[in-house]
A and B are shown apart, each in its own frame.
Chain A
Amino acid sequence: MSGPATPYPVDEARPYTPGALEKALLDGFQDGFPLTERPYRAIAEKCGVSEEDVVAAIARMQEAKAISRVGAVVRPNTAGASTLAAMAVPPERLDDVAAQVNGYDQVTHNYEREHELNLWFVVTATGRDMVDNVLQDIETATGLTVLDLSLVEDYHIDLGFPLQWT
């Protein structure tokens, strides 16, 4: 299993400040990333910079954790199975249980929320059987009930998030 959970500090330093090229990339390439042999060069041509500039800007944003990756966002329950799960964890056990839940590779998101149901996490695997196994394993390991809130319908057409530059 994993080490201790690493909670995100609430009052951490000021946010990442992107430069002009980074802003252009964040505004223009959260979707529609070129599916061509040299995608970074294709982007560079659109932005009027060099391929090296684009790669360096993306690397900087990854370094600053402004982006997690260049990747594909997969619609839930198409290439695999997933669910949202919730637990009511006694406050004194929350850090330990969060670390236990984090220990599963199939857990992609794990948040503390302000509610009696205070731990919310997403489980994604290649099939529903595996999702069920993970939920069952977490119940057994923690002795707590896991609420399985499986997806019925997705209403959001994801084009990326419009960041507001101030």
Chain B
Amino acid sequence: MDVSATDRQLLAALQDGLPLTARPYADIGAAVGLDEADVIARLAALRDAGVIKRMGLVVRHHENGYRANAMVTWNVPDALVSEIGRKLAAYPFVTLCYRRTRRPPVWPYNLFCMIHGKDRTTVEAAIRTLSAESGMAAYPRQVLFSRRRFKQRGAYFGTCAPSLKEAS
């Protein structure tokens, strides 16, 4: 679907969270000039179109005891990457799974999985599980455990920034 400027404003208004008020969609709407029914209808349309992947509580893994995370990347033949990506994405400990642009020679890897676990040992076991999928052992791989989190927040659809302005 085409995401309108109004939809973007609505998503921007939601980025700090749905207000904890009796009529939160009315309150969000007031901020962007929409009435409550319109907010609900637009969010439903965005969800049905897959623009909104999910709507609800956005969990912070670390604070819930999932202290370890690793980004695991493979260099997989382009012809196979979709099939392999879907297979790996189905594991419950895989929280993101993307095909990304290669940047050879520095970065020839095209398949990215994010794995969250309660500790490093658990994440290492999960990586072994993925690597044991048929054929995966043959592909060059990089494992990048996170060391420090400097920032984690919702997306930015606003109109200004400290040093750069959005070209509208």
Residues of A within 8 A of B (CB): 1-2, 5-8, 10, 15-16, 25-26, 29-33, 35-41, 51, 55, 58-59, 61-62, 64-75, 78-80, 82, 84, 86, 98-99, 101-115, 117-118, 120-121, 124-127, 129-130, 133-134, 137, 147-164
Determine the main DSSP class of B at the interface with A. mixed
Please name the 7 residue pairs, one residue from A and one from B, whose CB atoms are nearest each other, closest first. A69-B17, A15-B65, A155-B85, A31-B54, A7-B148, A33-B56, A155-B89
Residues of B within 8 A of A (CB): 3, 7-8, 11, 14-18, 20, 22-26, 36, 40, 43-44, 46-47, 50-67, 71, 81-82, 85-86, 88-89, 92, 94-101, 103, 106-107, 110, 112, 116, 118, 142, 144-158, 160-164, 166-168
**Nearest chain-B residue to A82 (Cβ)?**
B155
**B151 x A102 contact (CB < 8 A):** yes
B154 vs chain A, min Cβ distance (A): 6
Number of residue pairs spanning A and B whose beta carbons lie under 8 angstroms apart: 295
Residues of A within 8 A of B98 (CB): 84, 151-156
A38 vs chain B, min Cβ distance (A): 6
Residues of B within 8 A of A125 (CB): 156-157, 166
CB < 8 Å neighbour of B158 from A25, A40, A105, A114: A105
